Chain A
Amino acid sequence: MAKTWMRLDNAALIFPATRKSKWVNCFRVSATLREAVDPALLQQAVNDLKPRFPSMFVRLRKGVFWYYLEQIDTPPMVHQDYAFPLPHMGAQEIGTCCLRVLYFENRIGVEFFHALTDGTGGMIFLKTLTARYLELAHDIRIPATDGILDRTEAPQPEELEDSFQRYASKYPLRIKENEVKHFGGTRTPGFQFLTTGILPTDQLVKAAHRYDATVTAFLAAVMAQVLLEKQALEEPRLSLQKPIQICIPVNLRKLYGSRTLRNFALTVYPGVDPRLGSYTLEELCKAVTSQLAAEVTPQKMAGRMAPNVNPANNPLIRAAPLFIKNIVMQLVYNVRGENFGCLNVSNLGRQTLPENMAPFVERLEFIIGVQQTYSNNCSVASFGETTCVNMIRNIRESDIERRFFSRLVELGVPVSIESNECNYRAQ
């Protein structure tokens, strides 16, 4: 009989330990079709995918020493999307199923508890789900290319592996990161604002290339400039200003050739210190690009994995009861987890779909939830001619996205805005 449970991957260990009654680390991927979604067909597609994705249809369980993921017998029921993305996933829900499949008008959305997978793994699941849905809806056969998995195949062992264990170096790379400025605001408990900027990909790429930067580096640099301005307004005294660093998750699959569907990403924190002088956008782009180039190498990333992987393999730590591990991990996360980034700019990159599927799909989107200590996050995904920049926040103040999108307009990138603001009702 096949094993019906699995250990959490190394990156996932932190997520159950750090969840709170009002906060849990989740993210969402969604596909907007050119037709209305039929919930019954979507449910059928979800059911059909269950054998192919044993690491996704799971629930979180507690062992004596570790949490683990246990496969569920029945796939989750699809249901209508809510008034805002990523509502809190409570312990009861995570203990039943760690993902949600949602639909609203033309959109299929999947929300994941981060312990299951990262954005890339989530996007593979979404693409395969959407492909199966379209196969059922239009009686067509969509080939298993462009990140779509063949649902009739058995799951491959390398898709379920913890790639951190395989690729981490024995020797840790210690990096001293700066503690940075965090921006707050008036919290909106029970609601998360989402502002989606829809950008033409070619013009965004052109603008990035004008500054000799990749799209990720360019967006991070624009964001850094916005945050520098905001900090200068809030705290004019230079001596009290703090460094601005953007947290950029790096997909390690490309770096090591991994095919895992579980978490395999690490974050880097390019940034600048305003106390050393002012920066033009060109200088910011150069700083972010050079820091990314210096950090994102297989050797350095392997060294960065080691401080997380080595303690988890230590026999004494492994033998500690779960509740002690939870306390320690919570403390470590509080002290180090979110101190080095002002906000995340997470780019899933340019997504492609098979030729006979692409005409049915209008947009692919990626939304990361807010962090425990900072209230804004930014996530990006491109498909076809459109790049969707999703800015989520759990505060009322919208000045970061206002400045960010306005700056993009000033830089010659037209931005079309969608928002769920009309759904906000004060609690």
Chain B
Amino acid sequence: MYCVKCGVRLHDGVERCPLCQTPVWNPDGAEPAHRSFSAVYPEEENRRRYPILAFLTAILIAVDLALLIFCLRIYGKVAWSGYVMLATAVVYLIVFLPLWINKPHPLVFVPLSFAVVGGYLLYICLVTGGHWFLPFAFPVVLIIGLITTAAVACYRYLRHGKLFVTGGLFLAIGGAAMLIEMFEAIAFGTRMWTWSLYVVAGFATVGIFLLLAGIIRPLREYLEKKFFL
């Protein structure tokens, strides 16, 4: 059989030309296609990490339990061991939990990480009797979490326009700095515009430069060539 488009000879039984995907008409009826390779896929070489992860998990649990017992015996309450235990839990959820999964989805784990950090700050706020969580910590974590998640989603799903995304990210960080300073002023009564304008100036300059590089092709090609990794 021959492909009518490419002119190449094909194995009996193939349904489409592998070069141009043109359907092949087989007048003698369908025959089983010839396989030039087996259907066996190689195993990924990543199983070795599971015993190490299990070992590290056991160590963290053991350290946390030891601290808890220590505090309960000395102070009769959870005391500072609560901070340590929750801090290790935060690190575990952010760093180690994704390692258990073969292909952790960043759009699940990035927002989860920020939620965990927010929860930890809420715990500290409640234990210390502070009033800074709702006016300051929550909006700050929310803003940074939203920007990070949006950036990850853009990098993951957009095939083109990475420079625009990076430029936008820099501008967003500048904007976030202003918002954070605003929440700081609301929560703690500090003065506005003491530090965020410097951050805005720096990040906005880089962001605008990247947007320009996205628009001006020769500049973009020069940067790609020079900073290729």
Residues of A within 8 A of B (CB): 80-85, 87-88, 90-93, 104, 179, 190, 194-197, 240, 334-335, 398, 401-402, 405-406, 409-410, 414-423
Contacts and interface: CB of A to CB of B under 8 A. Distances in A.
Interface stretch (B3-11, B148-156, B190-198): B3-11
B229 A405 contact: no
21 contacts: A80-B40, A81-B37, A82-B37, A82-B38, A92-B45, A104-B38, A179-B225, A196-B36, A240-B217, A334-B228, A402-B6, A405-B19, A406-B8, A414-B9, A416-B8, A416-B9, A417-B8, A417-B10, A417-B19, A421-B18, A423-B39
Given A80-B40, A104-B38, A414-B9, A195 B33 contact: no
A195 B38 CA distance: 15
Interface string B8-21: 11110010011110
Contact of A422 (B35, B41, B48, B225): B35
Given A93-B45, A334-B228, A422-B33, A409 B7 contact: yes
Interface residues of B, number: 29
B8 A418 contact: no
A342 to B, nearest CB: 16
Given A87-B42, A398-B19, A419-B18, A409 B37 contact: no
A95 to B, nearest CB: 10
Contacts of B33: 422
A420 B42 contact: no
B213 to A, nearest CB: 16
Contact of A406 (B18, B19, B45): B19
Interface of B: 3, 5-11, 14, 17-20, 33-42, 45, 48, 217, 225, 228-229
A410 B20 CA distance: 16
Contacts of A402: 6, 19-20
Contact of A81 (B3, B5, B40): B40
A360 B15 CA distance: 31
A416 B42 CA distance: 28
Query: What are the 7 A-B residue pairs with the smallest beta carbon separation, nearest first?
Result: A419-B18, A90-B45, A402-B19, A87-B42, A409-B7, A416-B9, A420-B37
Contacts of B20: 398, 402
Given A402-B6, A406-B6, A422-B33, A417 B18 contact: yes
B39 A418 contact: no
A93 B44 CA distance: 11
Contacts of A421: 18
